[in-house]
Amino acid sequence: MIRRKDECRIEYREKMRDGNGTVRLTSLIAGPEELNNKGRLFSRITLNPGCSIGYHVHETDAELFYILTGTGAYSDNGTVVNVQPGDVTICETGHGHSITNTGEDVLELVAVIVYA
């Protein structure tokens, strides 16, 4: 099946995980069943300059980010590193992460969450 760009569900979340600003989440799937119930998220995430997703721990799943555009500061289970387009971040089950747009342009990434 095909889901056209304008058919993808867009959600705006303020202070996501106690972060700053408003984060846009474009869901590329209708629900976990489109991932064969092996995960629950396949999304494009957009953060304007200064916006962030606050630090949180993935207790029952793991989340991967693939950076598309922009620059950010990523907390990798407490260690903050800079990330750029092409970089991949992996938050294993039981670990935590956060991400902040530290640049002047929009920070965009593809995120995938798979269950533990």
In the chain, the amino acid numbered 73 is A
Furthest CA-CA distance within the chain:
40
CB of residue 106 to a second copy, shortest distance in Å: 15
Q: Does 104 bind a second copy (CB under 8 A)?
A: no
Q: Please report whether residue 106 would count as binding a second copy according to CB under 8 A.
A: no
What are residue 81's DSSP bridge partners? Answer: 74
For residues 1 and 104, which CB has a smaller minimum distance to a second copy in the complex?
Answer: 1
Nearer to a second copy, 22 or 68 (CB): 68
Contact map string, positions 5 to 24, toward a second copy, x by CB under 8 A:
xx-x----------------
Q: Is residue 83 within the footprint of a second copy (CB under 8 A)? A: yes
State the nearest-atom distance from the C-beta of 3 to a second copy, in Å.
4
- Comparing CA positions, the residue from 46, 59, 28, 60 lying closest to residue 99 is 46
Q: Which of 21, 49, 55, 61 touches a second copy (CB under 8 A)?
A: 61
Record the tokens describing residue 111, joined without a space: 């995120």
Residues paired with 12 in a beta bridge: 24
Order across the sheet with 79-83: list the strands.
Answer: 52-57, 96-101, 72-76, 79-83
